[in-house]
Structure 1
Amino acid sequence: MVSSGSDRPVIGLTTYAERTRFGVWDVDAAVLHRSYVDSVVRAGGVPVLLPPAGDAHGELLPLLDGLVLTGGADIEPRRYGSEAHATTVTRPDRDAAEFALAEAALSGTIPVLGVCRGMEVLNVVLGGTLVQHLPEVTGTVAHQPEVAVFGDTVVTLAAASRAAAVLGTETACRCYHHQAVATLGDGLQAVGWAADGTIEALELPGERFVLGVQWHPEQDSADLRLFGALVEAATKKSGGES
């Protein structure tokens, strides 16, 4: 392993670009929920925050052993050939950075975990499309009950999938999303569904770890299985395990 100087893999985490208040400051900042960082640390990885800036994605990836595409704002609909819905809120600068990063990661061998928006990024990068406002399809706000309130969802996972190998064929999750996968990107397989049929997990088949989940595993501090699986894959990829 060349990244961390130890047997712990370095895991990159994409960040938000938002107006942020801390200390005496009220400034534009690159920020991320602490729960993502803590989840990576507790799973045995070394977290590195990746701001949505610059274009050195090819140079960046060799420094990482694994990548988490984190949650956040909606993807610009023109990226999948649609006009914006009234409820769609985008961050084009973040799209630009993360799409380039995801494309570079998918062209290599780095393990990738997409969380909520991150799963949608994987799907759109590979040519898929999104439902922009899920309540119009499902007739319910169960996936995002209200602002800053997580919903509780039970997801059924395909028995032969990587996701099920990590989580079993059924898992309870915390979710917060008003968008979802409509058509799948090239090569991706849907492997998890909510009771209303919403796709809640997808992956690339094969040995390589590329997995997206629509829910927020970082919100369950007692369940590190997804982050642990990413760290394990990153360790193997970096040569830290024989």
Structure 2
Amino acid sequence: MGTHSSHVLMEANLYSIPVLADLIPRALWLDGDAYGKLKSNPQAQAAAQSGGRLVALLGLALGVAEFVRTLLNWAVTPDLTEVQRVLAQDLPALPMLGRWGAGVGELLAEHSWLWAALRPLWPTPALALARAVLTPLALLLGWLAYGCLAHGAARLLGGGGSLRDTLRCTALAEAPRIVLLWPFLPAWGLGLLGVGAWVLTGRWLALRAAHGLDPWRAFWAALGPLLLEGGLGLLALLALLGWAG
């Protein structure tokens, strides 16, 4: 019985490869029919399951890419202590900084807050390992949190899809993050913003397909979790400023 179940599971996994190979490129091209197929086609549903496997595989690939990228940066980046020593020795002596020489010297001192802030971000093998672990975990938790919030927003706006439909379709919407595997694309900055906009557009298509919403309702359902996140972040910042004041 156990052997038969293993064979069935293996066949299902093998069959899921061509199904996902068809859906993922279509999702990259923002083909709304790909999400419709994911909701209505049993074979596509079996391939994606609840969406968690797809997101986990993507997260693992991104984690490995972050690990390699950080190690390469560590290999070519000078030690932070050496950078601090050189800057503290030479920068305050520049004529253009003569007026602010004392302040610059304090900023570049060994125990300045600047180096304490930079140290956790400076490429090291430990940081590479941390990114390898945290990248897939953050992607998985972010997808799950967004999917649950977007599902609630879509239902409030008249959507009729199930939570499983929402999670499947929003998992496929994460497909544009594949481009972050490209070694020359920076993990931060405009590249990341562009991928974020790409993913958000995919989420809009995903919620339209999962819940049968019209474009405007799907737009607000897709944007709702981000607005909530931004609002909570703003409240936290105001509370922090009030506490500090």
The interval holding the TM-score normalised by the smaller chain is under 0.3
Relative CO higher for 1 or 2, CA cutoff 8 Å, sep ≥ 6?
Answer: 2
The structure whose residues are more often helix, as a share, is: 2
TM-score (norm: length of structure 2): 0.24
Larger Rg: 2
TM-score (norm: length of structure 1): 0.24
The structure whose residues are more often strand, as a share, is: 1
